[in-house]
């Protein structure tokens, strides 16, 4: 029993000594550095980037419509086909037009016969009038009959030419070279002719895919930072591994409303082409508006603001002190420090408790 109490006493003494040693080491450790998490001011390359999303569009794209109404007799292309300017795309049924053409030709022939008859009567009347064998009134009546016959002949000629033109229009051709990106109709479908740009049936779309651009909207707070001609990077949601270079071609002079913000539409022309990039796909443009090589920088979360003042909490080896800083280029993670810090300085990542 005595040996048991001796062992128990020994264990208690060892435990108390270990706890005292732990408290001593912890106390020494607390004096070696700050209890608040810190980050070091280091040098890194920084770029300030404005991102915007948009849609890829072809520079040259045409929606093909027919100028006349009718039934589609034959479609000679499919979506995805490459076509050349003037290549036949589809034909409308011309049975009714050909019937009208034959009637117009017969009408023109009849009017020409009437014209020839009126011309002979007029010439005979003129001769008799000169010899005083015919009164002036009768001569003028024959002249009027000739004039009417001439007008009717010209009208019949015009009507026939209009029908011939409609027959020509029934054969639709490609307005320019490109790819058939949309085919909206089928054979046998009855379509309406376009009397204006907004009227008529959309038949198909031809687009040149070797010249593409994207439209995007830039927030009004960033628009003054970009210029026409700036080089940009364009990525595509459908092809995450694809990146293309482009240049800003135009910037709208006036803003439009997008939700609760005002934005400026811009156009970006892509340099080169890629078979994977098709009209209509979404794209994201990254516009570098400022950059700095080997900039002294800290984490963006370690910079605090009061009004227009910017400052950090610098650790001086004992405590944190407020230090005003001048900032430069920044992104979503880091910001350049132009003055107020030196390389290797430690600053608080969040506001120290004693400064709150």
pLDDT digits (tens, 9 = 90+) for 25-66: 334 444 445 678 999 999 999 988 888 999 999 999 999 999
Domains along the sequence of the chain with CATH: 38-46+293-355 (2.40.420.20), 51-59+208-291 (2.40.30.170), 61-92+171-207 (2.40.50.100), 94-169 (1.10.287)
What number is the average pLDDT over the span 270-291? 89
89 exposed, middle or buried (CB, 10 Å; 0-12, 13-18, 19+)? buried
Instruction: State residue 60's pLDDT score.
Output: 93
> Distance from CA of residue 329 to its chain's centroid?
29
Q: How confident is the model at residue 195 (pLDDT cuts 50, 70, 90)?
A: confident
Is 1's pLDDT higher than 70?
A: no
| Contact in structure between 305 and 290 (CB atoms under 8 Å) | no
Instruction: State residue 194's pLDDT score.
Output: 87
Q: How confident is the model at residue 4 (pLDDT cuts 50, 70, 90)?
A: very low
What number is the average pLDDT over the span 335-346? 94
How do the residues of the chain divide into helix, strand and coil, expressed in percent and rounded to 5? 30, 40, 30
Instruction: State residue 91's pLDDT score.
Output: 96
Q: What is the pLDDT of residues 117-126, one digit of tens each?
A: 999 999 999 9
CA-CA-CA-CA torsion sign (271, 276, 280, 281):
negative
Is 199's pLDDT higher than 80?
A: yes
Q: How confident is the model at residue 13 (pLDDT cuts 50, 70, 90)?
A: very low
Of residues 10 and 256, more confidence is placed in 256
Is 113's pLDDT higher than 90?
A: yes
Tell me the two tokens of residue 93.
Answer: 């049924």
Is 222's pLDDT higher than 60?
A: yes
Is 6's pLDDT higher than 70?
A: no
What number is the average pLDDT over the span 284-291? 90
Instruction: State residue 272's pLDDT score.
Output: 85
Instruction: State residue 12's pLDDT score.
Output: 40
Look up tokens 């064998």; give the residue: 133
Query: Which residues are CB-contacts of 342 (< 8 A; sequence separation ≥ 6)?
Result: 41, 296
Instruction: State residue 198's pLDDT score.
Output: 65
Residues in the chain: 356
Query: Which residues are CB-contacts of 186 (< 8 A; sequence separation ≥ 6)?
Result: 72, 75
Instruction: State residue 23's pLDDT score.
Output: 43
Instruction: State residue 48's pLDDT score.
Output: 87
Q: How confident is the model at residue 331 (pLDDT cuts 50, 70, 90)?
A: confident
Closest CA to 232 of 97, 19, 47, 356: 47
What number is the average pLDDT over the span 143-166? 95
Which range has the worst mean pLDDT, 3-12, 49-58, 78-87, 345-354?
Answer: 3-12
What number is the average pLDDT over the span 100-123? 95
Is 313's pLDDT higher than 80?
A: yes
**Percent of the chain surpassing pLDDT 70:** 89
| Contact in structure between 192 and 199 (CB atoms under 8 Å) | yes
Q: Phi and psi (nearest 5°) for 31?
A: -85, -10
| Contact in structure between 249 and 54 (CB atoms under 8 Å) | no
Q: How confident is the model at residue 97 (pLDDT cuts 50, 70, 90)?
A: very high
Instruction: State residue 131's pLDDT score.
Output: 87
């Amino acid at each position: 029993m005595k040996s048991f109490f001796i062992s128990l006493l020994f264990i208690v003494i060892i435990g108390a000594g270990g706890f005292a040693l732990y408290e001593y080491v912890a106390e020494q450790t607390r004096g070696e550095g700050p209890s608040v998490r810190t980050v070091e001011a280091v040098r890194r390359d920084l770029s300030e980037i404005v991102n915007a999303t948009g849609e890829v569009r072809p520079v040259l794209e045409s929606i093909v419509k027919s100028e006349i109404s009718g039934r589609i007799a034959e479609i000679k292309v499919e979506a995805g086909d490459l076509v050349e300017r003037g290549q036949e795309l589809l034909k409308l049924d011309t049975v009714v037009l050909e019937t009208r053409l034959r009637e117009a030709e017969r009408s023109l022939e009849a009017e020409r016969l009437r014209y020839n008859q009126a011309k002979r009567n007029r010439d005979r009347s003129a001769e008799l009038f000169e010899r005083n064998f015919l009164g002036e009134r009768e001569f003028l009546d024959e002249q009027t009959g000739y004039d009417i016959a001439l007008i009717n002949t010209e009208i019949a000629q015009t009507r026939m030419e209009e029908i011939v033109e409609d027959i020509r229009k029934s054969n639709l051709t490609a307005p320019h070279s490109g790819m058939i990106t949309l085919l909206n109709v089928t054979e046998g479908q009855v379509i309406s002719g376009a009397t204006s740009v907004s009227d008529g049936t959309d038949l198909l779309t031809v687009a040149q895919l070797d010249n593409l651009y994207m439209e995007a909207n830039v927030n009004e707070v960033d628009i003054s930072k970009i210029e026409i001609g700036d080089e940009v990077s364009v990525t595509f949601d459908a092809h995450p591994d694809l990146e293309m270079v482009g240049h800003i071609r135009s910037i709208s002079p006036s803003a439009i409303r997008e939700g609760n913000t005002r934005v400026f539409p811009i156009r970006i022309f892509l340099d080169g082409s890629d078979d994977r990039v098709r009209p209509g796909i979404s794209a994201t443009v990254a516009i570098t508006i400022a950059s700095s090589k080997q900039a002294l920088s800290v984490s963006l979360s370690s910079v605090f603001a009061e009004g227009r003042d910017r400052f950090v909490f610098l650790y001086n080896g004992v405590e944190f002190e407020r230090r005003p800083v001048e900032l430069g280029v920044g992104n979503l993670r880091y910001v350049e420090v132009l003055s107020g810090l030196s390389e290797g300085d430690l600053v608080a990542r969040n506001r120290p408790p004693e400064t709150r």
